[in-house]
Amino acid sequence: MTDSKLKNLGTLELTQKLSERIKTQQNLLIRQQQQVDTLRQEHQRLKQQVEQGRSQNFIDNQNQDIMTSNSELPTTQATPNLAQAELSETTSPLVSEPVTSESVTPQISAAQRKKAKSRAANRAAVELICETYPQTFCFAKPRPLKIGIQEDLVADGKLSQTKIKRGLASYVRAFGYLKSQTDAAPRINLLGEEQGFVTADEAAHALTKLPAPRKPNKPRPSAKKRPEQVFSKPKRTQAPIDRKPAAKVEKAPSPFDGLNEGQRMATKLDLLLKKNR
């Protein structure tokens, strides 16, 4: 009886330990599944950001207007590999996923997203300045601005210095504004009144900022005609063949000429008899 009780106690303890281990493994699996779900949500969010950045970049390239310039405002450098840092925070040593092309895409397109964001901020700042001072700023028909107008904008206090700096820098770099910088063109102040003129040196400097005009495409040279051969061989012409008319052979008169059918039969019989003799 004692041995059987000991065996039963040992089996009970072993069963309890196994059940505890099973619960521990189940909890571990639940936590790992939660981490996997978190990583999937983070990956989906990054993909959406990438797609939004690509669509915004495409729209900016298609809708270039007079405010588009070759240079961008200097911006502060963002921390490199932002997407990689976000993934590393949520990644657990217990769960790892293979690196695919989709996970590398956010790192590659980070510069494109940064450039598109900077363009959008520049455009918004320019539109804000144009709305606040319509008598001075107009990106459809820009006019030369007064020298030192940035200090006047800051002193006016209607816009922040960041918006003024970003919007004014984009405005004066636009091709339309550079084209307005002609010699002796009048400059305007914040009230839209003329104050100063564009000098010849300033006009020449603005001209250097514009892209060089495209050269017209050269017409394709037409195919050269082959020169005619001077010493061309004359074509051989066949000499006419002299065909002599064939001599007509006169037929001997037939012994049956002028005979009717019965007489021809009688004549034929006579001839056969003569040959058989």
pTM of the predicted protein model: 0.42
118-210 has which CATH code?
A: 1.10.1710.10
**What confidence tens digit (pLDDT) does each residue in 101-113 have?**
444 444 558 888 8
How far apart, in whole angstroms, are the C-alpha atoms of residue 201 and residue 154? Answer: 27
28 alpha carbon, distance to own chain's centre: 48
Half-sphere exposure of 139 (CA within 13 A, CB side): 25
Please identify which residue in the block is written with the tokens 């993934």.
87
Question: Where is pLDDT greater, at 65 or 123?
Answer: 123
Residue boundaries of the structural domains of the chain: 1-59, 118-210
User: In this structure, are residues 188 and 143 in contact, taking their beta carbons and an 8 Å threshold?
Assistant: yes
Q: Which residues pair with 188 in a beta bridge?
A: 145, 194
Residue 82, both tokens? 């932002």
Least confident residue range of 132-136, 211-215, 235-239: 235-239
Amino acid letter, 186 = P
Average pLDDT over residues 50-60: 68
Q: Work out the angle at residue 138's Cα, subtended by the Cα atoms of residues 135 and 141, and round it to the nearest 5 degrees.
A: 115
Q: Which residues pair with 186 in a beta bridge?
A: 197
How far apart, in whole angstroms, are the C-alpha atoms of residue 49 and residue 60? Answer: 16
Q: Does an H or E element contain 197, and which?
A: strand 194-197
> What phi-psi label fits residue 54: left (phi over 0), alpha (psi between -120 and 50 degrees) or beta?
alpha
> What phi-psi label fits residue 258: left (phi over 0), alpha (psi between -120 and 50 degrees) or beta?
left
Checking if the pLDDT of 46 tops 60, the result is: yes
pLDDT at 247: 64
Half-sphere exposure of 115 (CA within 13 A, CB side): 16
How far apart, in whole angstroms, are the C-alpha atoms of residue 45 and residue 102? Answer: 12
Checking if the pLDDT of 45 tops 80, the result is: yes
Q: Work out the angle at residue 71's Cα, subtended by the Cα atoms of residues 204 and 184, and round it to the nearest 5 degrees.
A: 25
Distances (CA, A) of 164 to 21, 50, 56, 124: 66, 30, 24, 11
Checking if the pLDDT of 248 tops 80, the result is: no
**What confidence tens digit (pLDDT) does each residue in 127-178 have?**
999 999 999 999 889 999 999 999 999 999 999 999 999 999 999 999 999 9
User: In this structure, are residues 144 and 181 in contact, taking their beta carbons and an 8 Å threshold?
Assistant: yes
Residue 256, both tokens? 């049956």
Checking if the pLDDT of 91 tops 50, the result is: no
